[in-house]
Structure 1
Amino acid sequence: MQKQKFKSAVLLCAAAALAGAFVPASASAESPAKAPVVAVDCFSKPQIRPGDFLLACGDGNNRLTALQWSHWGRTSAVGSGLDAVNDCLPYCAAGKFHTFPVTVRLDRPETWQKNPGLEHFTRLRLTYTDNRPPQLQQREVTYKLWG
């Protein structure tokens, strides 16, 4: 009887070891999922799918608002929203904000120096889908993002 129990235990251990050999690495507890790529704002706060994003950190006269993201991936993010731009007339403190519909694309992820465990997007491209600020000559503007 003891021999039978021993054989059963050995068979069960062998079956478990064999089954473990076929578990994909992605299902293993030792391989954590990569953190999503983030957008770093003016205050060095990492964000995923932000609803608004300040472009003019120094004076606050340009901000993306009402952002809706259709894609947020490892190499790029795409969304749409409004670019709120101060006309600064007659000077910025007395100016008025005007909004312009835009498509937003984030890309060129790199390791974030302040947190090497995260990657952040380093480029933001705005495409104006209707009117654009009068000071802009092109429908598309590209910004290098801080980090």
Structure 2
Amino acid sequence: MLAALATLVTSAASAGSGSATAAPTPATSIVYGCDGAKLVQPRTLSSIFCADLGIIVTDITWLGWTDPFAVGYGTEHRNLCEPTCAAGRYAVYPVGVYLFAPQRGAFTEVSLYSSVTAPPETYQLTGFPH
């Protein structure tokens, strides 16, 4: 999983390389938190399901953060909703994180890569500006 993410970052970085003389422009894309906060390279991503926090990714290490996408890995906490979502327990496992589809400077979608849930799952981020 990490090898695939590293390959993705390397490919994207080399695609933009060439004989450019100007320094690269810092990435400005953000991800919104559930409270509307503008986040750059957050250690925790909770805006996958703001209504119930059914999936949260913590301890994120970002391998790359650019305007079109960001990629990293962390620990997923997924509510199993057993016996109910309110009383559910969480499954915890390593996961790759891929943020993409920026609109007006904010990532709007996330794909999660893990050996537990294959193929990757993609979600629309539910954080929003206030």
TM-score, length-scaled by structure 1: 0.63
Shift of 1:86: 1.3
In the TM superposition, 1:15-30 aligns within 5 A as none
Q: 2:87 maps to which residue?
A: 94
Instruction: Give me the whole-angstrom Cα distance separating, in 2, the residues matched to 1:67 and 1:89.
Output: 26
RMSD in angstroms over aligned alpha carbons? 2.0
Alignment of 1:37-116 (within 5 A): 37-54=29-46, 55-111=48-104
Q: As a proportion of its length, which structure holds more helix?
A: 1
User: Aligned partners of 1:144, 1:65: CA distance in 2, in Å?
Assistant: 18
| Among candidates 121, 126, 137, match of residue 107 of structure 2 | 121
Shift, 1:52, TM fit: 0.7
| Higher relative contact order (Cα pairs below 8 Å, separated by 6+ residues) | 2
* Greater than 2 Å deviation, 4+ residue runs: none
Structure 2: gaps (5+ residues): 1-21
Q: CA deviation at 1:34?
A: 6.5
What is the number of equivalent residue pairs in this alignment?
Answer: 104
Larger radius of gyration: 1
**CA distance in structure 1 between the aligned counterparts of 2:27 and 2:37, rounded to whole angstroms:** 15
